[in-house]
Amino acid sequence: METKIYKPTSENIKLAADEIKRGQVVAFPTETVYGLGAVFDNDSAIDKVFKIKGRPQSNPLIVHISNIDWLYKLTKEVKKEVEILIDKYWPGALTVILPKSDIVSDKITASLDSVAIRFPSNKIAQELIDKVNKPICAPSANLSGKPSPTTAYDVYNDLNGKIEMILDGKRSEIGVESTVIKIENNKSILLRPGDITYEELKDKIPNLTIDSGVINEIDKKTKVESPGMKFKHYAPKTNITLIESDNKKFMDYVNKNSNQDDYIVILNNEKDIDMIKNKRVIHLGLSCEEKEYNLYNVLREMDKNNIKRAFIQAPKKEGKELALYNRLIRAASFNIIKL
């Protein structure tokens, strides 16, 4: 089977919705990254999603909705603080994990008693879910372990021959996956940082904490709040070293330790770029938004260009850069040098 890329016309979105209703799997754009969707109440369709991605069954999926009513149907209880959050951030790049109702199958949640829910703002995603007329569960549409796809072409590269169709919604506006928080009993925990920051959310829910897995490597045996934290993630084949230091030390280090075939990715020191002797220097972006937008594209470029080694300047562990830090420590398989 050759995977086809479709323009997101109303007709083609209907075609995709019909495929999904028949229990097939379709890739579609969201504002964060592309998703690989199956209808939420068909276990064999959900099995296909895991199989196509090569995703461990123990890693649960996010359920995508286009109508708030579904939030109440998919969960047991929606507390006041959740309503405050979704009032502000939905539709958008925030996923909330809440105690699940009986209509959510164990396949989606990997037998956990909670379910992750997101209402994307992307209009194509919304129209697709509307036309299926039921929620769509979707992980990012990459092969498990690889960087998430931000274009239809990225999806095609990973999944050609494995799915029938990709809806092409141009490049994802944000470029990193949604912020994930879990709200249960009286605890609120940030499990995955994203464009919506910890600081913003804490302003609305003061008891919000950051799970230690967000910025630390997790021991294989430890029980984690979010199964996704355990797995190898976001990683190109390139061997990545993340360097936590000031600009000067970073430049000295790469000048001493890199060769002309390596990629050097800088985040902050665009003015000093000429001081790096290496010829393959990439500047991730000026603003945090630009850095998020470019992150996976740069990681995917490394594989396309067969780059063996890359040295990347570590982002800050706060604000929007926390999302970059969280992805890059995993892309680097926790190969971090502090100078």
Binding residues for Mg ion (CB under 5 A): 140
Of the candidate spans 135-143, 195-203, 276-284, 310-318, the one that interacts with ligand TXA by CB under 6 A turns out to be: 135-143
Q: Judged by CB under 6 A, does residue 95 bind ligand TXA? A: yes
Q: How far is C-alpha 20 from the geometric centre of its chain's CA atoms? A: 22
Q: Which of 26, 62, 155, 159 binds ligand TXA (CB under 6 A)?
A: 62
User: Which is nearer to ligand TXA, 74 or 312 (by Cβ)?
Assistant: 74
Q: Judged by CB under 6 A, does residue 138 bind ligand TXA? A: yes
Q: Judged by CB under 6 A, does residue 114 bind ligand TXA? A: yes
Q: Judged by CB under 6 A, does residue 29 bind ligand TXA? A: no
> At 339, is the secondary structure helix, strand, or coil?
coil
User: Which is nearer to ligand TXA, 112 or 165 (by Cβ)?
Assistant: 112
User: Which is nearer to Mg ion, 177 or 262 (by Cβ)?
Assistant: 177
Q: Is 186 exposed, middle or buried (0-12, 13-18, 19+ CB in 10 A)?
A: exposed
CA quadruple 295, 298, 301, 305: dihedral positive or negative?
Answer: negative
Count interface residues toward ligand TXA (CB under 6 A): 27
Establish how many alpha carbons lie within 13 A of residue 174's alpha carbon, considering only the half-sphere containing its beta carbon.
Answer: 24
**DSSP state letter for 98:** E
Bond from prior residue into 91 cis (ω within 30 degrees of 0): yes
User: Which is nearer to ligand TXA, 45 or 97 (by Cβ)?
Assistant: 97
Q: Which of 26, 49, 61, 310 binds ligand TXA (CB under 6 A)?
A: 61
User: Which is nearer to ligand TXA, 97 or 288 (by Cβ)?
Assistant: 97
Q: Is 232 exposed, middle or buried (0-12, 13-18, 19+ CB in 10 A)?
A: exposed
- Rounded Cα distance between 311 and 244, Å, is 11
Of the candidate spans 60-68, 152-160, 198-206, 298-306, the one that interacts with ligand TXA by CB under 6 A turns out to be: 60-68
Residue 3's closest CA among 153, 126, 169?
Answer: 153
From the CB of 91, what's the least distance to ligand TXA, in Å? 11
- 112 touches, from Mg ion, ligand TXA, none (C-beta below 5 to 8 Å by class): ligand TXA
Residue nearest to ligand TXA (CB): 228
Instruction: Output Rg (C-alpha) for the chain, integer angstroms.
Output: 20
- Rounded Cα distance between 233 and 74, Å, is 28
Question: Is residue 30 within a helix (H) or strand (E), and if so which, with residue range?
Answer: none
**Within 10 A of 136 (CB to CB), how many other CB atoms are there?**
27
Q: Which of 39, 166, 180, 284 binds ligand TXA (CB under 6 A)?
A: 180
Interacting residues with ligand TXA (CB under 6 A): 30, 32-33, 35, 59-62, 95, 97, 109, 112, 114-116, 118, 138-140, 177-178, 180, 191, 225-228
